[in-house]
Structure 1
Amino acid sequence: MSTTPAARPLWRRSAVVAPVLGALLLGGMAASTTFVGAGDAVVAADTAVEFADLNYEDVIVPSLTDRAVPVAELVTQILADPDATGEELGRREGEGKPYSYPVSATGTVVEGLFGEVGLQVEGMPEGIDVGVAIPPLGSSTALRDAGAELTFGDFVNQTEYQNVAIELNKLAAADVYGDLDLTTMIGSEISVVGGTTWVSKTGGEVTHVTIVPVSIEVGS
């Protein structure tokens, strides 16, 4: 969390910092008031909804877009050296947690798993396929974790930390899929930018990469 005066949210300013910190230490405010802190690049907010509204378009989307790595290249690097790739290109909420990455992909839309469409991407390592999440985007933390330098310690509790991910996903779904239905576009070529978390849903080796999109362009 930034300690520079310009980046402080209202509740960290000197006029109110002492009573707020005192109340937090006593546990009196945590149950009734929600505060979301800010890192150097993000705008502070009082709720998860406000945080998402203030930061999705101006912080999260540009961060993912500017740092996106082509998915085939990213996966190849992860397989070769997961720790080094995570430290160089990824972000995660804490030690022992999976890394999330900014990612891009261009490919052909195919039938996919529940909650997504498949994407045939050239150059993918053998045994690993790609999907693009479709609404509702649910509770994936890929956009939150890959798109900003945030940790659990920036939030008053785990619920608000998770809610930020959910609210960002809601905005992404509305922004990307307002007039787009990928389930009707089997065989079309698309280009996607978004976030992905390198984790297996079954607990074994990762064989599938799901991209939560912040932008989709349809080929001609």
Structure 2
Amino acid sequence: MAEFPHLGRHCGVQSCNQLDFLPILCNACRHSFCNQHFTYEAHSCEEGLVKDARVPECPLCAKPVPTPKGQLPDIAMNEHISNNCEVSKKKRIFKNQCSVQGCKKKELVPVTCPSCRFNYCLRHRHEQDHDCENKGGKVMSNAAIAAIARSKQACSQEAMKAQMAADERLARQLASEGGESLSPEELDRRLAQQLQLEENRGRRGQTTGGSSSNNCSIS
């Protein structure tokens, strides 16, 4: 050490004063220290401790974001913007984007067209403003659509019951006309023929615009 007094620097801590050939310069007080005393706490750097205690501000809401000791400020800032920043929350609540191509407007509440059921901004909420595909069509609410579906289901069940009753009457009629001389196979054959005839008549009636009393129509 004595042969090279001009090389290196002595540690800034008076109790240490070690000659270090690779001293570390403190970026706060601008003094040189050895590898054991280069931290702010190790050499009691007042400027460094004040600098290290500064709290960064959020670029959106301008509020200070405290950073826990040992954690990177970027992590605390990202968590603040994602969960606690009021300005960021206000930006996220406008998420009902207009369905018109090229329009990037977002609304706080959904504005749904009653005809095509798409969401639009206040500027394009009318049918003529967004060239509604269902313009002039019949608009039905969800409750009306559900009621029609239930009515159709009930109607199909009633029609099935009526058809089964008609088949039973037809079978009894054929049995009474033929008497006991007809075999079960012959009764089944005649019943099938009669049912086929009635089905053909029903198809012809539908093509000519006729309707039977058992048909159920929904308007």
Structures share a fold, TM > 0.5?
no
The higher relative CO (CA closer than 8 Å, separation ≥ 6) is in 1
Q: Which of the two has higher C-alpha Rg? A: 2
Q: Tell me which interval the TM-score lies in, with the shorter structure as reference length.
A: under 0.3
Give the structure-1-normalised TM-score.
Answer: 0.20
